[in-house]
Structure 1
């Protein structure tokens, strides 16, 4: 903060004394987030001289406003025009990457002027050129204000904001601090500055950047205009002189120490800071004694929300200590990347792929045993968490360590649940888009008890809100009804008849209950492998080709398993191997409809999964076929189209899949979801009708989840008018029941 700087008691800086003007600029910039300069001559070479402080100023989130006269060097004028033309990419430089930013500002070559243009384009530096309204003079101000959000320092001096002015000339500077001066000293100056910057001052006018006089230096005669462009070799020689003063050297060392601390400290990865809902989630978590479940729709930033909690807790102690549990090794890698973006440097990955973690955990627990305040992030799969060796180290961690459970329903799985009573960590966060364990109310109760939470949970962020607020992408939903073939319907009806007879006595009869489970699996298999899905899939691909002209950024959730020889048309798929994997049939249909489409399969045994996702993101792979592998946690925001050829009745699966697809991407305005819904045709007078009605309602629950938030809700629901009439069902009623 500015108030932490030891300013000279006289509030004056002079070249050649203990307090150099250059020292003031450098020290004050490092502590500030606002700079308003009212200048005469300006040269970007001054930014190079102050690269150390200026890069930190920008990394603080700082923004500078400059009012200058109408004379610039040719490179500065060109950088200014490029920066205001709208042709600069907003992510050309990272304001959080201090080192690369400083390197750019310190180079004074092409890269330097690109950086300057970027600073202008992103309004990090806003420049206004002025000249007197009457007469032929020039603006020749030399003053400004630096601020840190709380305190301000006003300065007025003799030096131009040029390399020569900062390094070579004999200059003086007078300052006033907001905590030591009359407030009117600042208010009157700031009012005048706003009038000049806004072009409403009586005595000065703004001029278009195109009218700026560009001066090209031809010789070095010591004139004022010579300051506007400093040759690189001269500047290098001059920069060597900037450390001639011992006080300045000490100031530079203090600044370097502050920057080193900054570079080593955790921080929020986005300059804008956490969103309001992420701050609210943290406050709710605190109020629930640092325990709770964040029931947040896939794609709303559960990871960042939980790491923001860790960041806030680390600010209290100066160390970060967290254990993160995830379902898969892919998620271990994703969480590692997110933690590094928060500048959590000591990250230990614990999974079957890592052999180093025992030594790393041993080192941490040893330091902790000697009372050393040690930071760490431990990211482990649930499977590794149950490992006895891991548990030995885990039990030695401080009780104040934060425990984050991603896809938190996994914490109530049998192998993990038996360890819950022995977990000593008191700060707990559960993350899930769908916290409830379907078909396992007992497990759900254990999970909720562990996190000391229950519905509506410590923090909830539903998908509908996420779409409304633009956090997730809006989408169109195209459900396709699939009928069973005559042979499939006969087999299906036979199983249904057996089920209807067994249901009545299944509750109290273990043998009957086991038979019911077996028959349900057989019936599900018929739905799963329905032959007409292949025909429907081909029609969907043709629709995509008609609507978009090509098949790209497309994700296909294919059924698992194999076809029996009797279940396939060998002539239609003669080119396939004897393996008869269902996913291969879907891949073959894509090749048939669009031979130019590049595709690959993303399955549990796929190699180079990260490379596959990267190639999909970059458009080198147009279509990705998956079997359940992309259900939990994997980020694929570039997906524009998804085809669900296989969905269970488990809401977790299809809700998570939808969340994967709705993640925002700069090149994506909408997502398109195609969903195959298998509806058996049953006689309303059949004694199995009520049984089939329940199954159809279960399928329609998925339809309601998807259709009622889609851009084309009425078109999507109209597809099921006849089905609803046949089975005596109503989509609005189902929606109300689900909402309740």
Structure 2
């Protein structure tokens, strides 16, 4: 708190004296939550004073309001340079961010990286002013620190005459709000000046847009997360401490270094924020349910953060943490590792067939038996069941938290057998769609393992996510695709065979038998590979390209060669037949226009991170995929999705929709095109009622998509012909 700081007795600070201006800034930044700054122009002296201590301020949730003068012309720069004298410090021209990057030292760069972080987090307001009538430059350098209760104001000189912080003749007078009436009046007066600028009430200046500056700073310097900024600040503090001779200032820097060191070591909620109310409730529900449960949360609602917050809360009680996180794909290993880093969790070990992990895991496992060593192990489902990993896994302390991402994978035949052997007592299952289609045995085993069942201890729907702004809104366009005559003939033959087998039981549910499943898959294959999909797909691409002038940020889900009735782990590979299909659809994308850049994202892709990075940057415009973008892979920049795969698996279409609905700062809304194959069977044919039931199930996906879309009514109109043909009621579906 500001009252606890060691302020100068006479409230004066001057370079070369016992009370250095830098000490004032460090004390203010380290002990406040708001900073109202009249910076004037960006100069190296001003920025050096603010650079160390700035990340510490940010890590504590600090917010800033900044009034600056934007050097708009060469004439402006000449005025400044003339006023500063021959040996001027650097004056940064924010109109040219590219050249700015070439003249910054590491302190300057750190300051701008901190600014970029605040801009990205929307924790900074910038007001750009320019004096009217050529009256010169706004030379302000003053401000107010606030901790929420008390305030400290200051006014500083602008006498920057020599290069380098240690030689700048800087003077500063501080005002403490809890002292005499004069200080309080001066602080209130300063705050009125700043408030008037932000309200644009001061008629002596012009008000210029800050958006271009903010975007430029964010794009140029916005590549660091909070942990990186804090580590860099610690490094700069050490360097600065070695250069400083002033004993009092050294002590201030040492105290700040100790604070930063503690921040670096201590886990915390990302960006020094706090969990949302439903995430707090999730932890409480999990505790109440005996440290077990399933978090059924829509894509984009923060399943990862919600589960890691549970680990954080356990750390706060025990002062140590141990967790094992199981994921379906190797791509998710790195994604989870990055999420753990945001919580400042250390000693994160990733385990897959591609890595040499045994040494690290053996070390931490052994060390934890001697001391309270914290660590997190992230492992793929494929590696989890292997004997080599199980020998380590069985040694993990029973209080280790198990987080199973896309938890439906635990119901696969290969993993079901190890569930009864798992000794870890704290368990969280994560999935937007926990239920496994046609696999009640797998569903029962998972529910028993997590001591939970539908509607689950944590449930957060896609509708809630859209209403609360955690997912972006979307328009949805279903495209009815018909089978060719030849395809329709074969389809009807199989339908008659199914009818003779007795497809439904007395309750109208599918009968389960190997023969029926084989025939259903054979018929589904016709739907998947429907020839007319290609022509419809080509027309969608042409229309979207004509409308957008490009196809940037497009995802294409290519039809799979065959759909299994059971869940197939995402680490399965494409068949030769499926590779032919994805090549065919990729060629259609390429032929849309010479400017379109398309890449396949499959199990065979060796450079997945590079592919996703180029897609995010807009270098690659379109990604074509089958299964590899179903679970967990983060592609928030996606704006357009084309579903060519006629999946009847609710999990697949829910997860695929979630991929394109993730929020992104440059995305307003998303567009989804869905190819829906509907066979035409006349009402006088024997298979009509059976077909009606199957079409109804197919339309469940379409109606689910349409209900939450912005163009709901328009979507329903496009289904009118199919609904009339099969005498189906939309409300019933």
Q: Separation in 2 of the partners of 1:144 and 1:600? A: 51
Moved more, 578-587 or 519-528: 578-587
Structure 2 length-normalised TM: 0.77
1:709: Cα distance to partner?
Answer: 1.5
Q: Deviations over 1:124-144 (max 9, x none)?
A: 47679999xxxx9xx999997
1:271: Cα distance to partner?
Answer: 5.8
1:263: Cα distance to partner?
Answer: 2.8
Q: Deviations over 1:80-119 (max 9, x none)?
A: 9977x9x989xx99xxxxxxxx965457xxx978988998
Q: Deviations over 1:629-669 (max 9, x none)?
A: 21111122232222222122110011111111222233333
Counterpart in the other structure of 1:525: 525
1:727: Cα distance to partner?
Answer: 1.8
Equivalent pair of 1:105/1:112 in contact (CA under 8 Å)? yes
1:68: Cα distance to partner?
Answer: 11
Q: Deviations over 1:498-529 (max 9, x none)?
A: 2112127999xxx9933222221221122222
Query: Pairwise mapping of residues 176-255 of structure 1 onto structure 2 (< 5 A)?
Result: 191-199=188-196, 207-208=204-205, 243-255=244-256
Counterpart in the other structure of 2:307: 306
Q: Separation in 2 of the partners of 1:681 and 1:542? A: 27
Cα 1:402–1:478 shift into 2, 3 Å: same
Equivalent pair of 2:51/2:111 in contact (CA under 8 Å)? no
Q: Deviations over 1:554-600 (max 9, x none)?
A: 222222339xxxxxxxxxxxxxx999922333233334443543323
Q: Separation in 1 of the partners of 2:536 and 2:723? A: 21
Counterpart in the other structure of 2:320: 319
Q: Deviations over 1:169-203 (max 9, x none)?
A: 7989787686xx79x89876654444343349xxx
Cα 1:450–1:595 shift into 2, 3 Å: same
Counterpart in the other structure of 1:358: 358
Counterpart in the other structure of 2:150: 152
Equivalent pair of 2:406/2:631 in contact (CA under 8 Å)? yes
Runs (5+) with no aligned partner, structure 1: 94-101, 212-238, 563-576, 735-740
Equivalent pair of 1:46/1:166 in contact (CA under 8 Å)? no
Cα 1:54–1:673 shift into 2, 3 Å: closer
Q: Deviations over 1:228-250 (max 9, x none)?
A: xxxxxxxxxxx899833334323
Cα 1:470–1:67 shift into 2, 3 Å: closer
Equivalent pair of 1:477/1:716 in contact (CA under 8 Å)? yes
Counterpart in the other structure of 1:516: 516
Q: Separation in 1 of the partners of 2:17 and 2:545? A: 75
Equivalent pair of 1:330/1:634 in contact (CA under 8 Å)? yes
Equivalent pair of 1:5/1:27 in contact (CA under 8 Å)? yes
Counterpart in the other structure of 1:672: 671
Counterpart in the other structure of 1:561: 561
Counterpart in the other structure of 2:705: 706
Query: Pairwise mapping of residues 637-716 of structure 1 onto structure 2 (< 5 A)?
Result: 637-716=636-715
Cα RMSD, aligned residues only: 4.6
Equivalent pair of 1:556/1:644 in contact (CA under 8 Å)? yes
Cα 1:17–1:195 shift into 2, 3 Å: closer
Counterpart in the other structure of 1:412: 411
Equivalent pair of 1:88/1:118 in contact (CA under 8 Å)? no
Counterpart in the other structure of 2:567: none
Moved more, 647-656 or 318-327: 318-327
Query: Pairwise mapping of residues 601-640 of structure 1 onto structure 2 (< 5 A)?
Result: 601-640=600-639
Moved more, 715-724 or 649-658: 715-724
Cα 1:386–1:17 shift into 2, 3 Å: same
Larger Cα Rg: Structure 1 or Structure 2? 1
Q: Separation in 1 of the partners of 2:362 and 2:348? A: 14
Counterpart in the other structure of 2:598: 599
Cα 1:695–1:26 shift into 2, 3 Å: same
1:458: Cα distance to partner?
Answer: 2.5
Counterpart in the other structure of 1:718: 717
Cα 1:185–1:314 shift into 2, 3 Å: farther
1:4: Cα distance to partner?
Answer: 6.0
Q: Deviations over 1:307-332 (max 9, x none)?
A: 23333433344434221110111111
Counterpart in the other structure of 1:51: 51
Equivalent pair of 1:561/1:581 in contact (CA under 8 Å)? no
Instruction: Give the 3-state SS of the residue equivalent to 2:465 in structure 1.
Output: helix
Q: Separation in 1 of the partners of 2:139 and 2:496? A: 95
Cα 1:120–1:104 shift into 2, 3 Å: farther
Instruction: Give the 3-state SS of the residue equivalent to 1:732 in structure 2.
Output: coil
Counterpart in the other structure of 1:738: none
Structure 1 length-normalised TM: 0.76
1:31: Cα distance to partner?
Answer: 2.5
1:5: Cα distance to partner?
Answer: 5.0
Equivalent pair of 1:502/1:512 in contact (CA under 8 Å)? no
Cα 1:330–1:496 shift into 2, 3 Å: same
Cα 1:260–1:704 shift into 2, 3 Å: same
Q: Separation in 2 of the partners of 1:456 and 1:578? A: 39
Query: Pairwise mapping of residues 487-498 of structure 1 onto structure 2 (< 5 A)?
Result: 487-498=486-497
Counterpart in the other structure of 1:467: 466
Equivalent pair of 1:482/1:677 in contact (CA under 8 Å)? yes
1:684: Cα distance to partner?
Answer: 1.8
Runs (5+) with no aligned partner, structure 2: 70-75, 209-239, 563-575
Query: Pairwise mapping of residues 269-284 of structure 1 onto structure 2 (< 5 A)?
Result: 269-270=270-271, 273-284=274-285
Q: Separation in 1 of the partners of 2:172 and 2:481? A: 83
1:346: Cα distance to partner?
Answer: 1.8
Counterpart in the other structure of 2:80: 74
Cα 1:188–1:295 shift into 2, 3 Å: farther
Counterpart in the other structure of 1:443: 442
Q: Deviations over 1:49-74 (max 9, x none)?
A: 353234422443334568999x9982
Cα 1:515–1:264 shift into 2, 3 Å: same
Equivalent pair of 1:602/1:625 in contact (CA under 8 Å)? yes
Q: Separation in 2 of the partners of 1:120 and 1:554? A: 27
1:495: Cα distance to partner?
Answer: 1.6
Cα 1:117–1:291 shift into 2, 3 Å: closer
Q: Separation in 1 of the partners of 2:486 and 2:68? A: 83
Counterpart in the other structure of 1:96: none
Q: Separation in 2 of the partners of 1:715 and 1:67? A: 48
Counterpart in the other structure of 1:397: 396
Equivalent pair of 1:153/1:176 in contact (CA under 8 Å)? yes
Q: Separation in 2 of the partners of 1:284 and 1:301? A: 16
Counterpart in the other structure of 1:536: 536
Q: Separation in 2 of the partners of 1:3 and 1:197? A: 23
Q: Separation in 1 of the partners of 2:40 and 2:476? A: 60
Q: Deviations over 1:672-691 (max 9, x none)?
A: 22222221222323332222
Q: Separation in 1 of the partners of 2:267 and 2:118? A: 25
Q: Deviations over 1:353-398 (max 9, x none)?
A: 112x11111000111111x221212110112111223223223333
Cα 1:333–1:174 shift into 2, 3 Å: closer
Q: Separation in 2 of the partners of 1:120 and 1:724? A: 50
